[in-house]
Structure 1
Amino acid sequence: MRRVVQFSTGNVGRHSLAALIGRPDLELVGVHAASADKIGRDAAELCGLSDPTGVLATDDLDALIALKPDCVVYTALGETRPMEAIEQMSRLLAAGINVVGTSMVWLVTPRHADGWLREPLEQACATGNSSLYVNGIDPGYSGDTAVHAALSLVTRASSVTVQEIFDYGNYDDYEYTGTAMGFGNSPQDELPMAFQPGVVASLFGGLVRSLAAHLDVELDEVRERCEPWYTDQRIECTMTTVEPGRMAAVRFAAEGMRGGEPVITVEHINRLTSAAAPQWEFPPEGHLGVHKVIVEGEPRVEVSTHLSHPVLDVTDAGCVSTAARAVNAIDWVCRAPAGLVALENIPPTEMIRGLMW
């Protein structure tokens, strides 16, 4: 049985925490929480479960390291505080504790991450003889597992498109996702963080370059594009309220170019309710969200992944699946050679071990 610590209890972390508590092959020994109102509370309470675990949340990283867990599930938001996240991960790794996570999405394709991010974590892994693995839905599943499966069905491919088409209206995360993407902004406002020059290429370009490397394709460049959509009516939703003349949808992509044409595209179409950007593509069959892969080739292949849940909204179901991409890799990562782990390093059947009991 693997001893594990959950690091954060936010939109993704509360779902990974519930998964850790439920799995008979894992033992939850600690929980990290940064908010004062969560410290000292039982892990079960923090993820909506009724039976207490006896494991209380703390913000003391040294105390968690002293528990000597086999693995930490790191889901704390790191993209807005990367140096602090690197320092926290490095301390865990250097102490000999493996880390799986959903944060710091550049690490989904670790061989294509910049040196400032990759090198201190590699050094920490070497010091502690430990491993680090980061994945999720997007970036993650759609750009590796789903697209690899689709490409395996063709004899030749001329282009690949990976898409997230999602209604974020019910996603209660304006503080990060909403502000980063600029929902509610006017055309006169400063560009939001996610669409400052170079950011889309930084976040999603690694997926493009990684896929090109797997395909043995030499790209001329990776470029980015972004198109906001401004509403002419008031839109109210869980994410935020958008007044007329302000942004309620956005379409953006990182494109791998060859011969002046995009041959590998990673694209998002994100809107707040179906009233936004009605001329843009919607998910098929009335779904609120889809992760889609389209391979133009012999033959043409289109794979759509829909998530649902009997109680949770589709965006919350996406957070459950994001958590799963980390939790399901714990046992293998604990057995892996030291270093940064990419999805392609993990045998596919290792990601389904322990899921049925």
Structure 2
Amino acid sequence: MLEAGINVLSSGPVFLQYPTDVVDDGLVQPLRDSAAAGGASLFVNGVDPGFANDALPLVLTGVSERIEELRCLEILNYNTYNQPMVLFDIMGFGRPMDEVPMILQPGVLTTAWGSVVRQLAAGLGVELDSVEEWYERRAAPDTFLVDAGTIEVGTAAALHFEVRGLHGGRPVIVLEHVTRLRDDLAPEWPQPAGHGCYRVTVRGEPNYTLDLQLLGSDGDHNTAGLKATAMRLVNSVPAVVEAPPGLLTALDLPPVYGRGLVR
């Protein structure tokens, strides 16, 4: 499609949000070559949704005097996320606690979300020493149902992970997910604002905490997250069309507004 001159916007693969130092350049260069040949562009937004991990945190840092740590969190209950393959096979929910799911295999978290950390570092002009991953899980205290199926007692029911960008021997940029299948699980973990939120914290001078709550017209926060991911792509089409050919990141595009959306 790129070689044919067709601009492409996509939510994945997520490592293409900002592939530098995340995946081998041999995987990315053919896309750059195709874009150059066709005079087209590729923009990958991510699925968190993307703006919560690039536009929001970077704008917030613009009113800082000093930054010691920038942290982006997703704190959500996935009980209405009716995607059994994602929940069970990829994330490992409903599986035995001694079974390591795909998402927690060594290197997967840093491949999937390392692009978020690297892109924020680039936006702040920080050269990272390394990127590391960490996680913990909690088991279901009893059997219960979610939209995707049954979570048996003793199986994985909550997941908490971090992807940390280190500079000077300490984390300076952190992507953190707190994913529960029931609100009462792991009460000691970070708690959301409202029914679920994306949170940006800037520790430094001053200290900031920004909570973004999402809720669809159907009353479901998961519906809102999916729609936000899609609409960031749709509303970015004019900017991508106007951009120079190549593999674009959020750092290459101007702010995207809801122009023409007022009804």
TM-score normalized with structure 2 length: 0.94
In the alignment, does 2:105 pair up with 1:199? no
Cα distance in 1 between the residues matched to 2:27 and 2:197: 30
In the alignment, does 2:147 pair up with 1:238? yes
What are the within-5 Å matches in structure 2 for residues 120-269 of structure 1? 120-136=30-46, 138=48, 140-189=50-99, 191-269=100-178
Cα distance in 1 between the residues matched to 2:21 and 2:50: 14
Cα distance in 1 between the residues matched to 2:87 and 2:239: 31
Show CA shifts across 1:186-218 (max 9, x none). 1232x1111100000111112212222222223
The count of aligned residue pairs is 262
Which residue identity lines up with residue 123 of structure 2 in the other structure? H
Which residue identity lines up with residue 165 of structure 2 in the other structure? G
What is residue 355 of structure 1 aligned with on the other side?
261
Structure 2 gap ranges (5+): none
What is residue 94 of structure 1 aligned with on the other side?
3
User: Which portions of structure 1, spanning 4 or more consecutive aligned residues, are displaced by more than 6 angstroms?
Assistant: none
Which residue identity lines up with residue 301 of structure 1 in the other structure? Y
* Residue aligned with 2:260, SS: coil
Q: Is the contact made by 1:132 and 1:341 (CA closer than 8 Å) also made in structure 2?
A: yes
Cα distance, 1:307 vs. partner?
A: 1.0
* Residue aligned with 2:2, SS: helix
Show CA shifts across 1:4-46 (max 9, x none). xxxxxxxxxxxxxxxxxxxxxxxxxxxxxxxxxxxxxxxxxxx
* Residue aligned with 1:185, SS: coil
Identity of aligned residues (%): 37
* Residue aligned with 1:330, SS: helix
Question: Which of these two proteins has the greater Rg computed from alpha carbons?
Answer: 1
Cα distance in 2 between the residues matched to 1:330 and 1:216: 27
What is residue 14 of structure 2 aligned with on the other side?
105
Cα distance in 2 between the residues matched to 1:113 and 1:93: 22
Show CA shifts across 1:100-124 (max 9, x none). 1112111111445522431121111
Cα distance in 1 between the residues matched to 2:166 and 2:20: 20
What is residue 185 of structure 2 aligned with on the other side?
276
* Residue aligned with 1:329, SS: helix
* Residue aligned with 1:103, SS: coil
Q: Is the contact made by 1:110 and 1:342 (CA closer than 8 Å) also made in structure 2?
A: no
> Equivalent of 2:238, from 316, 331, 355?
331
Cα distance in 1 between the residues matched to 2:12 and 2:168: 34
What are the within-5 Å matches in structure 2 for residues 44-63 of structure 1? none
In the alignment, does 2:228 pair up with 1:321? yes
